[in-house]
Structure 1
Amino acid sequence: MSDPAKRAGSRRKARLRAVELLFEAEARDLDPAELAAERSAALVKDLSAPQLTPYALLILEGVRDNLDVVDQTIVDHLRGGWSLNRLPAVDRSILRIAVWELLFAPEVPAVVAVDEALELAKELSTDESPGFINGVLGQLVGLADEVRAGVPAGEEED
């Protein structure tokens, strides 16, 4: 059986790598999964390059395949005149991963998805970003629970 602490650490690294690749893919106008494949091929030549774990690839493919839903979910929960394009690119990448995990990765507890996003924001973004990201994701936790329970978004159970 795998050690939960080791698995959590490897998932943290996978999320960090996914943020980096989402950020780069957006900046270069590339498909994130294609960029990941390009990087995987480069690993054969350069073993010192950062590894792409199966979970990082799953995140990249999941975000790509569900980008419209993920982005619309973020937009629907932005406040204070913010738009998706106005957000710092790294915050956009962090939010995309967290929202994908909240909506499409039921094996990831919602609290873990939010906590990991906040840690990434503290490490990679501005001083204001963790609070902003927490505000957006805090609104989504209940929605994520409904989606995971099979209740269509916006409808309540009887």
Structure 2
Amino acid sequence: MAARSKARKRAVDVLYEADLRGSDPLALLRERVADAHPPVPDHAVRLVEGAVEHAARIDELIDRHAKGWSIDRLPDVDRAILRMSVFELLWADDVPDAVVIDEAVELARALSTDDSPAYVNGVLGAILDAEVPTS
């Protein structure tokens, strides 16, 4: 698995665990970085911090584009994948949009339900179409 793929998985792990525990993702991230078992890559730190920094806007976008589901009704792991991916899609200019979406779909395939990859792809595609200007 490529370094950035591992970092994305680690970021999803932190966001998912914080969501389940009802705890602060940044506090949990600091614990995981200090523990370093397994190590937390810099890109994972960037993704978690970015998802937290832009949380209100990210959740608003997910809620608007998640057809048939409110953000609170999404499977927990899908919510974590979407939060991380929306941050990376809209605020991380060093990663191509297609890579962000592909990585999110692969995480959903590995970690969630059979329907999740297509759903994650659809939500991210809708957000990309609505929020990213074409040149």
**Shorter-chain TM-score: what band?**
over 0.9
Q: Please, what is the CA RMSD of the aligned residues?
A: 1.6
Q: Give the SS at the match of 1:126.
A: coil
3-state secondary structure, aligned to 1:62 = helix
2:4 counterpart of 1:11:
yes
**Is it true that 1:26 corresponds to 2:13 in the alignment?**
no
Taking the TM superposition and a 5 Å limit, the aligned residue runs for 1:1-158 are 9-43=2-36, 49-80=37-68, 82-146=69-133
Residue 61 of structure 1, CA deviation: 0.4
Amino acid at match of 2:111: L
CA distance in 2, matches of 1:36, 1:115: 25
Q: Secondary structure at the match of 1:79?
A: coil
Supply the distance in 2 between the matched residues of 1:111 and 1:143 (Cα, whole angstroms).
15
Partner-residue secondary structure (3-state), 2:114: coil
Which of 1 and 2 has greater Rg? 1
Could you list the structure 1 runs, at least 4 aligned residues long, displaced by more than 6 angstroms after superposition: none
**Partner SS for 1:73:** helix
By relative contact order (CA 8 Å, sep 6+), the higher-ranking structure is 2
Which SS does the other structure have where 2:83 is aligned?
A: helix
- For residues 40 and 95 of structure 1, the distance between their equivalents in structure 2, rounded to whole angstroms, comes to 22
Of all paired residues, the percent bearing the same amino acid is 45
5+ residue gaps in structure 2?
A: none
Equivalent pairs counted in the alignment come to 135
- CA distance, structure 2, for counterparts of residue 78 and residue 144 of structure 1: 14
User: Which amino acid in the other structure matches residue 9 of structure 2?
Assistant: L
Give the AA of the match of 1:42: D
